[in-house]
Amino acid sequence: MIRWTGILLFILYVMLLVYFLFFSEAYGRVAQAERAYSYNLIPFVEIRRFWKYREQLGLFALFTNIFGNVLGFIPYGFILPVVFNGLRNGFLITMSGLGLSLCIETIQLGTRVGCFDVDDLILNTLGAFLGYLAFAICNYLRRKYYGKKI
């Protein structure tokens, strides 16, 4: 039952992720004619910029850029080990989060639907790791109190 719920949640999560990253106009998507190749390969440049100009940019921009990238990948790190027993290793989950993020950033660059940003890779990978950490804590507590494995 837990695994099937996890599969359903993972499918819903992927659908929402695709929507927000590629189709949502509220998150900086522009018309096809206005799209240009955009990238940042220097770590922490955008994070610093959003933090430094947080008052001018507003809290929504700060939250969606910095915290949104982390929060967006927490479900990935949490649900994946529930669905796949073979992915119960924090390193594998973190590296697969990095791989997924790299794929997303590359697609965004190629389709010009966003900006390839190394900071997004860092923040998304952190989110996957934090999601796995939350899973590991919940799994430990569940085993301790109920003595079961998923």
For residue 11, give its domain range.
2-23+39-146
Q: For the chain, how long is the longest CA-to-CA vector? A: 58
Interval 68-93: pLDDT, tens: 999 999 999 999 999 988 889 999 99
Residue 39's DSSP bridge partners are 116
In a domain, 28, yes or no: no
How many domains is the chain partitioned into structurally? 1
Query: Residue 128 in 3-state DSSP?
Result: helix
- Whether 29 is covered by a domain: the verdict is no
For 95-136, what is each residue's pLDDT tens digit?
999 999 999 999 988 888 878 999 999 999 999 999 999 999
Closest CA relative to residue 76, chosen from 6, 29, 137 = 6
34 part of a folded domain: no
- Residue 30 domain-assigned (yes or no): no
